[in-house]
A and B are shown apart, each in its own frame.
Chain A
Amino acid sequence: METANKNLAQLKIGQLAIIDSFTDKLMALKLLEMGCTPGELVKIDRIAPLGDPIAINVSGYMLCLRKAEASTILVSLLTTNI
């Protein structure tokens, strides 16, 4: 089950989502290269103690990025676990 668009920075720890698209062209290039491609499954792994940056599980590894960067990734939240 998928719900309406959110950006990745709005997700809570443990939530799963599918990457839809990007809002910042230049940032998208960096994220794509690191395996954040449309259709890819992401999970919020942890949030740094000061609330930023966040660590996500994507393409089989752990990537950390700031909330500012995460907010350029539009995702569909998955409500069911896999």
Chain B
Amino acid sequence: MKENQSFVDFSEKTSLKIALVGNPNSGKSTLFNALTGLNQKTGNFPGVTVDKKSGFVKLKEGQILAEFIDLPGTYSLYPKSIDETVAFEVLCNPNNEFHPDLTIIVADASNLKRNLFLVSQIIDLRIPVILALNMMDLVEKEGDVIDIIRLSEKLGVKVVGVSARNKGSLDVLKQALFEPLPVRQYDFINIKKLAPELIEKLSALINANSDFAAFQFINNFPQISFDNNNIDNKEKIVTLLSTPLIDRNKLQSEETVERYKVINRIVGECRIQKSAIKTKSFSNKLDSFLTHRVGGYIIFLIILFFIFQTIFFLSSYPMQWIETLFVSFSNIAAQNLPQGELTNLFVNGILAGLGGIIVFVPQIAFLFAFIAILEDTGYMARVSFILDKLMRKFGLNGRSVIPLISGMACAIPAIMSTRTISSWKERMITILTTPLMSCSARLPVYTLMISLIIPNDKITGFFNYQGLILMSLYMIGFVAAMAAALVLQKILKAREKSYFIMELPVYRSPQWRTVGLTIFDKVKSFLIDAGKIILAISVLLWFLSSHAPGNKIKIIEKKYETVDMLKKYNDAERKLKISSEQLEVSYAGIIGKFIEPAISPLGFDWKIGIALVTSFAAREVFVGTMATIYSVGNSDNTQTLREKMYLEKNSSTGLPTFSVAVGFSLMIFYAFAMQCMSTLAVVYRETKHWKWPAIQFLFMSALAYISSFLVYQLLK
């Protein structure tokens, strides 16, 4: 066999580009995490790795700087989605900027046959590869044995047994990168035989370094086109491949069948198996509960219920600590810093804004942790399985469940994860309805409003009214999303037949390291990305609310300095009167008053109007705005925002501003309104047309306004 191999040696290089590729659920992302130590989300659901992620690592005692690139999971080199196309182009096109020096193919050893299909295709590209045989621990547990040396001989490439969940085996893999690597120089199957003339002619034109690369070019033309600057060649290629005589379906199915024949033989020789039909007993037992006719749905609802109760109940303690901490910060700052504009900016602009953001970290951490655990264990795939038929009635797909549930954390990654849905119509409906699911940015608004209008009474033990109302709000978002899907199903036309072919991965215990990394990553990006906007808007808002056109601010101060006024009010009362009148004449007040006529049918006054304006681009700004407005309008720093809002009275009626009707109206408004620039941008990117985000924006805004109006008028 040796004459059929050539060798490459990377031990003398100083930099190296290494790609990781493999089937979904092969543990590729986990291995990538372990190799790079970079924060990256790993899930158990097929196709969770949608972005191309990379990380630099120093190897071989710092001599080599390796760049690891995590390619999207794919089952074959026949791309069916944008993600798989990325993997395909990087591997097949030597001119691609990410084309690796070396490719690590990650394969699930406990699912050897199907994983070897992609492996054999990549090997046939004749690029340098190492096969990392993952989950060897699972194989042993099942009582099977895989002869790695034999497998390596049969495949003609280096094979290393690893267990991505156990760090020890990684050193062996890293070591293997710098030993001379065999590159197999003969094809798995007789590819040339499938289309001899075409392959020969095309190979000459595109300078393919393997028959299989040429074959793939033929099969994926014209969807895939490699960079080719030679215009003359380009025309010849187009003429050669545009003939209707090429039966691409036949070529592909012949190739697949041939490959599996060879793979079956290899697996038969290299694996000693206990029985032909695998009964993964633990997974099977779990499935009989989790996908049970009745029990499956009940368990799913209980899990969701538990998540919401936990988010509200458990995070209320750290939230209280954070609130108290910021109140004391403000006090210390106000007492110790010299009076003036800068102190004012620091206490009422920056500190108030920061406190408004950080207080929601516990809830966001819990929410993302739960979603990461559900994905990592393989449970999400089961939810798709039991809900596919139901989802179909709404023009959706079982795979739509994941984006919809992730949408409760954040619509942006959720919309990106719709790429695993192959039908255009189902994918569009999922993209357009996902933002109606209540995301974590709405949580602060809900939390604040619920705590103002709903008593914190426990029903029994763990459950309380506040948690129930919160769950109902999420339900309302879900119902709205489903209703919108029903409408869209009637409007949109299907472009292709919908199908649902999906792997149900074996249950695994969640990896706490991965969950931890996810939480850290999400909280960090919330604090930094959202924090920047919130802080900037807080400072701007502080300026707008403490300054007014002309010298109106001074005039109000003077008005209260007359002898009459000094007699009429004590110091504290006077301060309050001054600041609230000042807010009313300030720039922010002018803006709020300007839109008040439009929002008063919804029960909102001009102060809420200011918050609506500032949270137009990002809804999480609402609470920060409220914090700034109420600390500018109130010189008492010992109260939390909640207390200040609770005491707020409507100036004309004298009743509390945040009545039950206003609270619900506001929550419904935030549940439905499209107040997120980033989501609109990602919808544009995924649909490649401004029409869709525009429709989404108009529809959701109208829905928010009308629903809010109805809620307020009914409860008033």
Residues of A at under 8 Å CB distance from B? 16, 25-35, 37-38, 40-41, 43, 45-46, 48-53, 55, 57, 59-66, 68-69, 82
A27 cross-chain contacts in B, Cβ below 8 A:
499
Judged by a CB distance under 8 angstroms, whether B292 is at the interface is yes
B503 contacts A37, CB within 8 Å? Answer: no
Q: List 29 A-B contacts (CB under 8 A).
A: A26-B497, A29-B249, A32-B253, A32-B257, A33-B75, A33-B78, A34-B503, A35-B113, A37-B260, A37-B261, A40-B260, A43-B277, A45-B284, A46-B287, A46-B288, A49-B291, A49-B296, A53-B389, A59-B114, A60-B112, A62-B503, A62-B506, A63-B502, A64-B500, A64-B501, A66-B388, A66-B499, A69-B500, A82-B276
Q: Size class of B's contact patch?
A: 35 or more
B284 cross-chain contacts in A, Cβ below 8 A:
45
CA distance A39 to B502 in the complex (A): 21
Question: In the complex, what residue of chain B is closest to A38 when comparing beta carbons?
Answer: B257
B114 contacts A35, CB within 8 Å? Answer: yes
CA distance A81 to B502 in the complex (A): 27
In the complex, per-residue mask of B187-223: 1 if CB is within 8 Å of any chain A CB, else 0: 0000000000000000000000000000000000000
Judged by a CB distance under 8 angstroms, whether B616 is at the interface is no
A41 cross-chain contacts in B, Cβ below 8 A:
276-277
CA distance A37 to B499 in the complex (A): 18
A49 contacts B292, CB within 8 Å? Answer: yes
CA distance A23 to B112 in the complex (A): 27
Distance in angstroms from B487 CB to nearest chain A CB is 23
B500 contacts A25, CB within 8 Å? Answer: no
A16 contacts B277, CB within 8 Å? Answer: yes
Q: Most A CB atoms within 10 A — which of B80, B278, B497, B504?
A: B504
Judged by a CB distance under 8 angstroms, whether B169 is at the interface is no
Judged by a CB distance under 8 angstroms, whether B297 is at the interface is yes
The 8 A-B residue pairs with the shortest CB-CB distance, nearest first, are A50-B389, A35-B114, A62-B504, A32-B256, A37-B260, A49-B293, A59-B113, A61-B111
In the complex, per-residue mask of B78-91: 1 if CB is within 8 Å of any chain A CB, else 0: 10100000000000
CA distance A45 to B252 in the complex (A): 29
CA distance A18 to B6 in the complex (A): 40
CA distance A56 to B669 in the complex (A): 45
CA distance A43 to B287 in the complex (A): 16
B390 cross-chain contacts in A, Cβ below 8 A:
50
Known A-B contacts A53-B500, A64-B500, A69-B500; A29 and B389 likewise in contact (beta carbons under 8 Å): no
B278 contacts A35, CB within 8 Å? Answer: no
Judged by a CB distance under 8 angstroms, whether B245 is at the interface is no
B501 contacts A35, CB within 8 Å? Answer: no
B117 contacts A48, CB within 8 Å? Answer: no
B385 contacts A64, CB within 8 Å? Answer: yes
Question: In the complex, what residue of chain A is closest to B254 when comparing beta carbons?
Answer: A32
B291 contacts A46, CB within 8 Å? Answer: yes
Identify A52's interface contact among B111, B252, B287, B388, CB under 8 A.
B388
B501 contacts A31, CB within 8 Å? Answer: yes
Identify B385's interface contact among A32, A43, A48, CB under 8 A.
A48
Question: In the complex, what residue of chain A is closest to B381 when comparing beta carbons?
Answer: A64
Distance in angstroms from B469 CB to nearest chain A CB is 30
CA distance A65 to B503 in the complex (A): 9
Additional A-B contacts beyond A37-B256, A48-B388, A64-B503 (8; CB < 8 A): A25-B253, A41-B276, A41-B277, A49-B291, A50-B386, A53-B398, A62-B505, A64-B504
B291 contacts A48, CB within 8 Å? Answer: yes
CA distance A49 to B297 in the complex (A): 9
CA distance A58 to B390 in the complex (A): 25
CA distance A55 to B398 in the complex (A): 13
A60 cross-chain contacts in B, Cβ below 8 A:
110-114, 278
Judged by a CB distance under 8 angstroms, whether B294 is at the interface is yes
Question: In the complex, what residue of chain B is closest to A56 when comparing beta carbons?
Answer: B504
Distance in angstroms from A40 CB to nearest chain B CB is 8
B381 cross-chain contacts in A, Cβ below 8 A:
64
CA distance A40 to B261 in the complex (A): 10
Q: Most A CB atoms within 10 A — which of B78, B390, B499, B506?
A: B499
CA distance A23 to B108 in the complex (A): 30
Identify B389's interface contact among A26, A38, A51, A61, CB under 8 A.
A51
A16 cross-chain contacts in B, Cβ below 8 A:
277
A49 contacts B253, CB within 8 Å? Answer: no
Distance in angstroms from A52 CB to nearest chain B CB is 5
A63 cross-chain contacts in B, Cβ below 8 A:
501-504
B385 cross-chain contacts in A, Cβ below 8 A:
48, 53, 55, 64
A33 contacts B76, CB within 8 Å? Answer: yes
B386 contacts A48, CB within 8 Å? Answer: yes
B111 cross-chain contacts in A, Cβ below 8 A:
59-61
Question: In the complex, what residue of chain B is closest to A43 when comparing beta carbons?
Answer: B277
B252 cross-chain contacts in A, Cβ below 8 A:
29
A34 contacts B504, CB within 8 Å? Answer: no
Question: In the complex, what residue of chain B is closest to A81 when comparing beta carbons?
Answer: B277
Identify A34's interface contact among B75, B287, B292, CB under 8 A.
B75
A65 contacts B500, CB within 8 Å? Answer: yes
In the complex, per-residue mask of B256-293: 1 if CB is within 8 Å of any chain A CB, else 0: 11001100000000000000111010011001100111
Question: In the complex, what residue of chain A is closest to B284 when comparing beta carbons?
Answer: A45
Distance in angstroms from A72 CB to nearest chain B CB is 10
Distance in angstroms from B264 CB to nearest chain A CB is 8
CA distance A49 to B385 in the complex (A): 9
Distance in angstroms from A69 CB to nearest chain B CB is 6
Known A-B contacts A35-B114, A66-B499, A69-B501; A49 and B277 likewise in contact (beta carbons under 8 Å): no
Question: In the complex, what residue of chain B is closest to A25 when comparing beta carbons?
Answer: B249
A30 contacts B499, CB within 8 Å? Answer: yes
Question: In the complex, what residue of chain B is closest to A67 when comparing beta carbons?
Answer: B389
CA distance A28 to B501 in the complex (A): 11
A48 contacts B499, CB within 8 Å? Answer: no
Distance in angstroms from B140 CB to nearest chain A CB is 15
B388 contacts A35, CB within 8 Å? Answer: no
Distance in angstroms from B147 CB to nearest chain A CB is 17
B386 contacts A34, CB within 8 Å? Answer: no
Question: In the complex, what residue of chain A is closest to B75 when comparing beta carbons?
Answer: A33
CA distance A59 to B261 in the complex (A): 12
B114 cross-chain contacts in A, Cβ below 8 A:
34-35, 59-61
Distance in angstroms from A33 CB to nearest chain B CB is 5
A33 contacts B117, CB within 8 Å? Answer: yes
Distance in angstroms from B550 CB to nearest chain A CB is 68
A48 cross-chain contacts in B, Cβ below 8 A:
291, 385-386, 388-389
